[in-house]
Amino acid sequence: MILKPHINDFKNIGYYLSKVMLGLGFTMLVPIVMGLALGEINPALDFLIGIAATFCFALLLEKVCFTEQDLTWMQGMIIVALSWLVAMILGAVPLYLSGHWKSFLDTCFDTMSGFATTGLTLVQDLDHLSYTHNLWRHLIMFIGGQGIVIVALSFSIKGLSGAFRMYVGEARDERIMPNVVNTARFIWLVSIVYFILGTVALGIIGLLNGMQPFNSFFHGACMFMAAFDTGGFAPQSQNMLYYHSLPYEVVTIVIMLLGAINFKLHYHLWTGNRKEIWKNIETRTLFITVMITFLVVAAGLARQNIYPAAIALFRKGFYQLISGHTGTGYMTIYAQQFLYEWGNLALVGIIMAMALGGSTCSTTGGIKMLRIGVMAKAFKQDLKRIILPEKAVVVQKFHHLKGVFLEDKQVRSALLITLAYLGLYGVGALIGMWYGHPFLNALFESTSAAANVGLSCGITAPGMPAALKVTYIIQMWAGRLEFMSVFTLIGFFVAAIRGR
C-alpha cells in the first residue's frame, strides 16, 4: 500500500524550498550592481523585477509553510529536484525581459542549460546582449556548478542536520570537511580562488590579443565561470572561435580539467597530498578514457584528412574532445562542421567522451569516472575468479581518496546509474529521430544535453519543436541530478495521487 504524504511533508518541503529561493534571489544583486555601475539601467530594472518576484514567492512560501522540523531523506531529495525547476523559472524572468529570446520556454531552456552547466543555448543576437544579462548567464553556471543547494547551505540554512540529505540529492555524497555546511563553504573557497587566478590569466591573454581592458577581464571572468563549471556559455556567438588564440585555448583546457576533478581531490591537492592525483581511480580512469576516445577521434579525422597538421589536430580535434569529455561544450569549430567534415567515426568518439563525463563530486555531468573505474575493477575481479582455482579468495581493491575494498553494492550502484544514463541518451535520440534527424546526429545532441555538455551538431536552435526543447530540458535536469532526487519527486507525486 502506498502511503499518502502528510501535510507536514508539504510544509517542510515548502519551507526549505523558500530558503533556496532566497539564496537565488540574493545572487541577482550581482548583475544589478553591474548594471548600475555600467549605466545599463533597463537591464538592471529587469533584475529588480526578477529579484522582487523571487523574494515575494520565497517570503510567502516561508510564511505559509513555516516549520522547525528537520528534513527526512525523502523531503531533502524532493526539495533538490524542485529547487532546480523553480530556479529555472525564476532565473529566466530577467533574461526574458531582455527581449533576446523568442519565448519564455526558450529562456527556461537557457536557464536550465546554465544551472545544469550544459551550454546549449537558444539566445538570439548574443553579440548585442547587455553586459548585465551576459553576466547572469555565466553566473548561473557558476552557481549550478557548485550546486543550487550549495548556495542555500552556504548562506541560508545553518545548523541543519538534514542539510546532508539535500547535499546528497544534488548528486554529491562526499563530505570534505567535518560537516556539510563547511563542505559547501570549502567548495566556494576553491571556486573563488580559481576564479581570481583564471580571470587574471584569461584577462591578460585578452589584453595581449588587443581587447579593451574592461572587455578582456569581463570575458575572462565569464569564460572562467563557464570553463571551471564545465558549462560552455560564452559572451559571443562564435564561442571559443571568437578569440582565435592558442594560449586562450590552452588555459581553458587547464581550467576545464580542474573543473572535471573531484572537489575532495582539490582538498588533498591544497593540503599538499599531490600524490593522490596519480593514485586516484578517477584521475587514472579519466586519463585512460581521454586517450582511448581521442584515438577514435584522431582516427576518424585522419580518415577525413581535414586536419593534417599536428597543431590543427590539437586545436580542433583534441580541444573538442577535452571539451566534450569534461562536459564543458566550448567549441573551436562551427556546429555544422561536425556533420559535414568530421565523419561518423570521429563523431562517435566525441559521443563516447560526452557520455562518460568527469569525476564525481565535481561540476561535470555524464556517467562519471568513478563508476567506469568500479565497473572495470569488477570485470577484472570476475576474470580472476574464472582463471584462478575455485577455492581461491579473490579480493579487489581500488584507491579513491583512500583504499577501498570493492563490494557488490558499489558495482550494482555504478551499473544502475550507468544504465539510467544510457537509457536517457537513447530516449532523447529516439525523440530527435521522431522529428526527422538522423540517428547519429540525434544521439549526439541527446548525449550532449543529458550529460550536461553543450556541444551541438546544429539541432539545438530557436526554431526546433517545443517538444524537443522540453525533452532536452528534462534531460539536462535529470542528468545533472543523477536521477535519484528526480525519481523521488516522481514517486512523491504518485503517492500524493494514489496513496491512502
Digit-coded pLDDT (tens) for 435-474: 999 999 999 999 999 999 999 999 999 999 999 999 999 9
- Report the pLDDT value the prediction gives residue 308, as an integer from 0 to 100: 87
Confidence at 7, pLDDT banded by 50, 70, 90: confident
- Report the pLDDT value the prediction gives residue 159, as an integer from 0 to 100: 47
Per the DSSP assignment, residues forming a β-bridge with 397 are: 405
Domain extents for the chain? 1-173
User: For the ranges 43-52, 385-394, 426-435, which has the lowest average pLDDT?
Assistant: 385-394
Task: Report how far residue 369's alpha carbon sits from residue 277's, in angstroms, rounded to the nearest whole number.
Answer: 13
Task: Report how far residue 48's alpha carbon sits from residue 347's, in angstroms, rounded to the nearest whole number.
Answer: 44
Confidence at 247, pLDDT banded by 50, 70, 90: very high
In this prediction, residues 311-329 reach a mean pLDDT of: 93
Cβ proximity of 2 and 500 under 8 Å: yes
**Nearest Cα residue to 86 out of 162, 4, 164, 148:** 148
Residue 4 gets which letter from DSSP? P
Q: What grid cell was written down for 459?
A: 539541432
Q: What stretches of 296-435 adopt beta strand conformation (E)?
A: 397-399, 403-405
Enter the pTM of the model.
Answer: 0.92
Locate cell 581587447: which residue? 211
Compute CA 462 distance to the chain's CA centroid, rounded to the nearest angstrom. Answer: 22
Cβ proximity of 499 and 7 under 8 Å: no
- Report the pLDDT value the prediction gives residue 408, as an integer from 0 to 100: 85
Q: 18 in helix, strand or coil?
A: helix
Confidence at 10, pLDDT banded by 50, 70, 90: confident
Residue 129 has pLDDT above 90, yes or no: yes
Task: Report how far residue 402's alpha carbon sits from residue 372's, in angstroms, rounded to the nearest whole number.
Answer: 18
In this prediction, residues 88-110 reach a mean pLDDT of: 96
Residues 6 or more apart in contact with residue 18 via CB below 8 angstroms? 57, 58, 59, 61, 62, 65
The residue count of the chain comes to 500
In this prediction, residues 232-259 reach a mean pLDDT of: 93
Indicate the average pLDDT of the chain: 88
Residue 492 has pLDDT above 90, yes or no: no
- Report the pLDDT value the prediction gives residue 174, as an integer from 0 to 100: 59
Q: What confidence tens digit (pLDDT) does each residue in 341-377 have?
A: 999 999 999 999 999 998 888 888 899 999 999 999 8
Count other Cβ atoms within 10 Å, centred on residue 104: 13
Task: Report how far residue 442's alpha carbon sits from residue 382's, in angstroms, rounded to the nearest whole number.
Answer: 35
Q: What confidence tens digit (pLDDT) does each residue in 147-165 have?
A: 776 666 555 554 455 555 5
Phi, psi of 404 (to 5 degrees): -130, 130
- Report the pLDDT value the prediction gives residue 239, as an integer from 0 to 100: 92
Task: Report how far residue 14's alpha carbon sits from residue 62's, in angstroms, rounded to the nearest whole number.
Answer: 7
Task: Report how far residue 49's alpha carbon sits from residue 27's, in angstroms, rounded to the nearest whole number.
Answer: 14
- Report the pLDDT value the prediction gives residue 162, as an integer from 0 to 100: 53
44 or 485, which is more confident = 44
Task: Report how far residue 268's alpha carbon sits from residue 287's, in angstroms, rounded to the nearest whole number.
Answer: 19
Phi, psi of 33 (to 5 degrees): -60, -45
Confidence at 495, pLDDT banded by 50, 70, 90: confident
Residue 383 has pLDDT above 60, yes or no: yes
Task: Report how far residue 137's alpha carbon sits from residue 122's, in angstroms, rounded to the nearest whole number.
Answer: 12
Task: Report how far residue 123's alpha carbon sits from residue 86's, in angstroms, rounded to the nearest whole number.
Answer: 20
User: For the ranges 28-37, 162-171, 191-200, 329-338, which has the lowest average pLDDT?
Assistant: 162-171
